[in-house]
Structures are given as structure tokens and as C-alpha cells.
Structure 1
């Protein structure tokens, strides 16, 4: 995984997902991404799906008005949000919290990969910060 930062946007999977979001007009891609991350209970959540889910959760947080980091890495997503203002449904926020629990669990390949680095605590703090920006 091409990764350059601990925040949700700092990897190739996240950037690709954000680019694909440009082709949509509604929250279907966000919901499908969260559902994929929640699927296959008991199986390991693969890193690409977890990375995409974190960016989908960023969409929810930003639509709720909780923007967080804004820089060149977030530009594509921020543009989509500006062009498609809408309310994030409460059930999506609830799913987002469950997905974060799954991403931080022992059954998450992304967590396992970060745990092998010196930046694990920074990554985990970024994920928890994102959780804090999604209102239930």
C-alpha cells in the first residue's frame, strides 16, 4: 500500500476511492463501502477495504460539518462535498462507528500493518480523532 501519512487520505487506496466518488451524486458509494467493511464477520478486514472505509467516514464527518484536515490530499473529496451538499443519515453515522471498531480490532489487516511501524500510535490517534468527528 502506497502510504505517506497516518491520516485517512494518506494512501493510494483512499485517493483512488475519492477519485471514484467523483462519478457519483449520492451517498450510495459511502454506504456500500461501509457495508463492505462490516461484511464477513469473523474474517480479517483487508487493508484496502479499511483504508477506503476511513475516507467514506470522512465524507460523513464533513457533511456533518466536522471537517478535520484540509490539504492537497483532501482536495478531491472536499470538492465533491461542496458540489453535493446533503445531510449524512444517522444510520450511516452509526455504521461509521461500527466500522471504526472493526478497523481498530485484531481482525483488521490495516491495524496489523500499522502495528508493525513506529507510527502506530499516531495512526490510531488519527482514527480515534475521526471517530470523534462523526456525531451519532
Structure 2
């Protein structure tokens, strides 16, 4: 998994997603984020969610969370360079919460990879924090 850290953009896949956002016309960026989240969210609990799809969903959600009060700005060199439009529509936040729930659920290759590395709980805590920010909660939701 071309990953060098636990940050939401610390992988080849997340960095590639950021580059794709930068290369896309401004009017297409929200659609790309929505598609990334929707794919993960609609993967059924019995289906195995591919790690790359999970990584992209987490990166997309991090971009949304950065626009919410309490969200952490995306200031890594691996995040998008081009500014994103305001993306905080209630339906997009709700979609991100569902997608992140799927990423940390069973049958998630990304979670399995972090578990295999002995860092699953710490990585999951970061994803739960994103979910809580997007849900408007004060504490990380399970």
C-alpha cells in the first residue's frame, strides 16, 4: 500500500486523487468528491471494500471536514493545490459519514492492512474523528 504515514493524504492513492482534483475543471471537483464517497458508502457490508477506494473516500472526507468548524485544514503537500469550492451541503456530509463508517467496518481492506501493520486502532481513531467532525458531534462516533 504505497503509504508513508497515517495522515489522510499520506499515500500514493490519496496523492493521486489530489492531483486528479487539481487537474479537473473547478465545476467537476465536487462531483469527483461525491463519487468517491458514494462508491464507498454504497459498498454493502458483505462486500469487500478495496483499499484504494477506502483511501480515496477518506481523503475526500478530509477535504469536507477541513471546511467544518473544528476541522483540520489540509495543509500537506500531498493534498490538492487548487482551492476547492465550499462543499458542505448536508447531503454530502451525510454521505461522507456513511462512507467513513464503511471504511472502518469489517470487510474493509484498508482497515485490514492497518490492522496487519499493528496500527489499526490508531488509524481508525483518525477516521472516527473525521466522522465526528462531519456529523457535527463533539466526540468520535463509533
The answer to whether the aligner puts 1:21 opposite 2:18 as a matched pair is no
TM-score (norm 2): 0.82
5+ unaligned residues in a row in structure 1: which ranges?
A: none
Supply the RMSD in Å over aligned alpha carbons: 1.9
Give the secondary structure class of the aligned counterpart of 1:21: helix
Residues 1-136 of structure 1: pairs in structure 2 closer than 5 A: 1-24=1-24, 25=26, 26-41=29-44, 42-68=46-72, 70-74=74-78, 76-77=79-80, 79-80=81-82, 83-136=83-136
* C-alpha separation in 2, matches of 1:9 and 1:99: 17
Unaligned runs of 5+ in 2: 137-142
Question: Hey, which of these two has a bigger chunk of helix by percent?
Answer: 1
Q: How many residues align?
A: 132
Residue 100 of structure 1: CA displacement?
Answer: 1.1
Cα distance in 2 between the residues matched to 1:124 and 1:9: 15
**TM-score computed with the length of structure 1 as normaliser:** 0.85
